[in-house]
Structure formats: C-alpha cells, structure tokens
Amino acid sequence: MRVRAIVNRGGGTLLRNGEEDPQSRLEEAFAGAGVAAEVRCVEGACLVAEFQAARDDPAVDAVVAGGGDGTISCAAGQLADSGKPLGVLPLGTLNHLARDAGIPADLEGAVATIAAGHIRAIDLGEVNGRIFVNNSAIGLYPHMVRQREDLQERLGRSKRLAMLIASLRALRRFSRHRLTIDLGGLCAPIETPLLFVGNNVYETNLLTLGRRKALDQGELCLYAPLVRGRLHFLSLGLRTLLGLSRQRDFASLVGIPEATVHSRRPALTVALDGEAEVMETPLRYRIRPGALRLIAPPPERER
C-alpha cells in the first residue's frame, strides 16, 4: 500500500511539542510498520490543495491526515465519495473521530492501524455544502471557538487553557437564539443558547461531548438545552454532570437524515469540528451515509 501522509504543521502535537525532526520520526514509524509512505508536513493554508492532489494521484493508494479534528475534517471533505481511503494520525488535542473509531492515540498504534489496512465506510455530516466528521453547533460554542482562536493567536495560550477562558467569556455574554427546525415540512420553533448537530448519535453532557457508539447509522442527532438564562444554564450543566437532568431540560431529535435550521438573522456563526465560520441562513443539514472510507479497526459489534 502506497500512502501519502499529510501532516498539519500548525495543528499537530508532534510538531508543536519541539520534536527535533518530526518528518523523520513519522517516516521511521511507517517504515517500521512496513508501509511505503511519503510524508509531507505542510502549513494549514496548504491542506486543501495537498489533500486534493493526493486524492487525484493514481500512484497514491491511501491518504493519511495528521493533526486535530479540523485537519481530519478537511481531509474528509476532499475524499468524500472518492473511494480513496483515509488514515488518521491523531495529533490534535481531543481527536474525537479517532477516539470514536477506535484508532489508537499514540503514533505507533495509529500507524499500525494504517498498516493493518482494515477499511470501514462511515457517514459524514454536511451543512450548506460543508463537511463535518463529528459535529456542528450554533450559539455559545462557535463563539467560544472564536474566542479560543483569538487567545491562541494573540497570547500563545494552550488550546485547553484558551478554551476555558473563552468559555467563561461566552457565558458572561449569554444569549439565546430563536430558531425554527424544519424536518421536511414539520416545523418546530425553539429558543436556546446552543444547538448541537451530531454526525450519528452522541451521548452528550451539555457542553461536554460524549462518545458515539456508531459512525455508520445514517442519522443526525440534534440537541438543545431549554434554559431561560445564564444561571439556569449553569445549573443544568451541573445537574447533567451529576446525572440529574430531566428530559424536559433538552429538546432532542435522533434518527433524522436531514434538517433545515431557519433564523431571523441572515447569517450565523457555525462551528464545524472545532472550527468556526460564518454561514448564510437557512442552514441545511444532511447526513451522507457511507461517504468516507476510513482506515480503522473493525467496530466492536464486528469483532
């Protein structure tokens, strides 16, 4: 198997943590696992072009993305429905997709998974033409992401510390969004500080993302806390963490293939796999079943 590994120079822990020669280490890891790999460490601005070139190169059997979930999402967006497999080096802070797919967090384990070559077809989420591998959100979370990015860029904070500070700032400016969820003609108004849309069903504790038991059920999930103000929101978060939340505290929808989110605003800030961008409304979400061929261990139900 001929592999091209594209690693985000700005988004990988291997590169940020002072590794003297990260490219050589990656090449040695692949060679040790018997994989013929061409390793490229590139800047974030070059990722789309690099993934496109790897997708279209007939000499490349599989593409490997190294970085956080944003990098993996970028790769998935270029490889969707192409038939070319994607391998993952989970070099980010949280690595949600790798965790849910059972890909080892350590470099050698991830490379061994790629060498084993087991391929799974997994679903992708999409909103207004943009792919996400994990989740999308409207409301508080995208503003936390924007604040986090600003703190990291201006002050050089770590991602975790920057997110903590950003969360406190976002809560201080607490607000609710008036949205309408359209499920193919069945419309429901909702007022919430946070709408969460997951690629397959999440076990979620308010702002703390849980795990997904499956990545291939062909469904979206939507969650929204129904709270009146900041203190109610914090109280709900605490009760959820203690397992004391009630069904009436949340609006939730699971098992849906698509949903359109309407707002009075012409555009909203939307988070996609931990990256924030402004999108015009309405927001049209859909699931794309089996759109990505992922190199990963078999799901537990098949072992």
The average pLDDT across 53-80 equals 97
What's the mean per-residue pLDDT of the chain? 85
pLDDT at 206: 47
The average pLDDT across 1-21 equals 76
For 15-47, write each residue's pLDDT tens digit. 555 566 788 999 999 999 999 999 999 999 999
Residue ranges covered by each domain of the chain? 2-117, 132-287
Residue 297: pLDDT above 80? Answer: yes
Residue 66: pLDDT above 70? Answer: yes
Asked if residues 91 and 14 have their Cβ atoms less than 8 Å apart, the reply is yes
pLDDT at 263: 96
Q: How far apart are CA 44 and CA 129, in angstroms?
A: 21
For 92-114, write each residue's pLDDT tens digit. 878 999 999 999 999 999 999 99
For 198-243, write each residue's pLDDT tens digit. 999 997 554 445 789 999 999 999 998 877 666 656 665 655 655 5
pTM: 0.85
Q: How far apart are CA 102 and CA 164, in angstroms?
A: 27
For 123-182, write each residue's pLDDT tens digit. 999 999 999 999 999 987 666 665 565 655 565 555 566 555 555 566 666 678 899 999
pLDDT at 209: 53
The pair of structure tokens assigned to 219 is 């469904």
CATH class of 132-287: mainly beta
Q: Exposure string (b/e) for 239-269, b if CB count within 10 Å is 16 or more?
A: ebeeeebeeebbbebeebeebbbeeeeeebb
Whether 132-287 and 2-117 are alike in CATH topology: the answer is no
Task: Pick 2-117's CATH classification: 3.40.50.720, 3.40.50.10330, 3.10.350.10, 3.40.50.2300.
Answer: 3.40.50.10330
pLDDT at 274: 83
Kind of pairing between the strands at 62-67 and 86-90: parallel
In order of 18, 40, 105, the CA distances from 21 in angstroms are 9, 12, 20
Regarding predicted confidence, which is higher, 230 or 57?
Answer: 57
Residue 185: pLDDT above 80? Answer: yes
